[in-house]
A and B are shown apart, each in its own frame.
With several copies, the nearest count.
Chain A
Amino acid sequence: MHEWSLAEAVLKSSIKEAKKRNLKKLLEVKIVLGELQAIEEEIVKFSLDSLKKGTMAEEATFVFINEKATFKCRNCQNEWTLKEANINEESIKESIHFVPEVVHSFIRCTRCGSPDFEVVEGRGIYIDEITGEDL
């Protein structure tokens, strides 16, 4: 249930962005969920729906987009997917769920074994776009 704090972050930052754009009401927030972090969409949705009450996002819909995680090695340019990384241990999945970067403590390039790789896509949560009404 640390998803609640991420939902708070989503709501706060969306409202801040909406105000910057002079919107009066938030109608939709498109949220990208990266596969690596394995955030529970249901919990974020539930949290957002309860947090939005009494805010300018009261009527907003939250749309979720799932992004697959891919990695790219800076040593040999090899690219691979989370599935290919084959992370099975629950405690490792849980660690990555909290701080996705610790994936560098647990996996290596599937070709050359280097720890020096990039999470190209699907790291974690971010906001793709917001829409609203300016009156």
Chain B
Amino acid sequence: MFDPREVVSREKFAIMKCIIPVVSGKGGVGKSVVSTALSLALAERHKTGLLDLDFWGASAHILLNASDQFPEEEKGILPEEIRGVKFMSVSYYTQDKPLPIRGKEYSDAFLELMAVTRWNDIECLVIDMPPGMADPFLDLLQYVKNGSFLVITTSSRLSSNIVSKTLKILKEQNLKVLGLIENMRSVGDDSERIRDLANSFNVKHLGYIPYYHNLDIHLGNLQDFISTDFFQKIKAISMGLEI
């Protein structure tokens, strides 16, 4: 008795040249806005995919204004292409209803999506992760051995404390870390905390992004999102990523 989806899922990830899981451990630090902006920025230069693995708090479909139709089927499922980004999310199938599922069920849904999605020739897959260090994070470590992790934090010690735990696991598991983005920085925030955190794990501090009071009103309309300073910041950071 065995599960046919495991082998193909593992293989699909293994052959990808560039996988960027956007992680933190902490919630609400900007993983979804960063990963969505990053995939849009990368898509200007590479064939790019975006996979939303936050099944309980799916957000990227809102930012991308994704269709409410099922993605096309053709020997599998073809991700919807939005402004050059091939996008897959469980939100296509929940009809925007709550998805109260336990970790074991998450793992099953994750394998299912991976087994049937045809990413075809994408060069770079950005993965938007949920917070925490439960089944989604552990499944990622098990199925994606070749990720280049992008770690998001805010300047707050409530975030850095948790992010340091994520960095500890990534480093201990010898995974590649592209660096740390310090998001939602305010004037007056401790300017050393996150730099020290990055240094202590020997990862790059990739830059600060200010707290933009009006970012939220630009979300939901893609053209609007791309015209924000936030997007330009992420685009600039994306240029320097070692991918």
Task: Tell me the smallest distance from the CB of B221 to a CB of chain A, in Å.
Answer: 26
Contact B112 A99 (CB under 8 A): yes
Contact A8 B8 (CB under 8 A): yes
- Does B142 sit within 8 A of A, measured CB to CB? yes
Contact A95 B94 (CB under 8 A): yes
A1-33 interface (Cβ within 8 A of B): 1-2, 4-6, 8-10, 12-14, 16-17
- Does B95 sit within 8 A of A, measured CB to CB? yes
Instruction: Give Cα A101 to B108, complex, Å.
Output: 7
User: CB-CB < 8 A to A2: which residues of B?
Assistant: 73, 75-77, 116
Contact A102 B77 (CB under 8 A): no
**A2-B77, A94-B70, A102-B90 are known contacts. Are A13 and B2 too (CB-CB below 8 A)?**
yes
Instruction: Give Cα A14 to B90, complex, Å.
Output: 27
Task: Tell me the smallest distance from the CB of A69 to a CB of chain B, in Å.
Answer: 14
Number of interface residues, chain A, beta carbon within 8 A: 40
User: CB-CB < 8 A to A113: which residues of B?
Assistant: 172-173
Contact B109 A102 (CB under 8 A): yes
Q: Which of B34-42, B99-107, B188-196, B230-238 contacts A (4 or more CB under 8 A)?
A: B99-107
Q: Report A's interface with B, CB cutoff 8 A.
A: 1-2, 4-6, 8-10, 12-14, 16-17, 74-75, 91-92, 94-96, 98-102, 104-106, 108, 113-116, 123-129
- For this complex, 27 residue pairs linking A to B, each with C-beta atoms less than 8 Å apart, are A1-B74, A5-B8, A5-B77, A6-B115, A8-B75, A9-B4, A9-B8, A10-B4, A13-B5, A14-B4, A75-B141, A91-B95, A92-B95, A95-B94, A95-B95, A98-B92, A98-B93, A100-B112, A102-B93, A105-B94, A105-B95, A105-B99, A115-B98, A115-B173, A116-B138, A126-B4, A127-B2
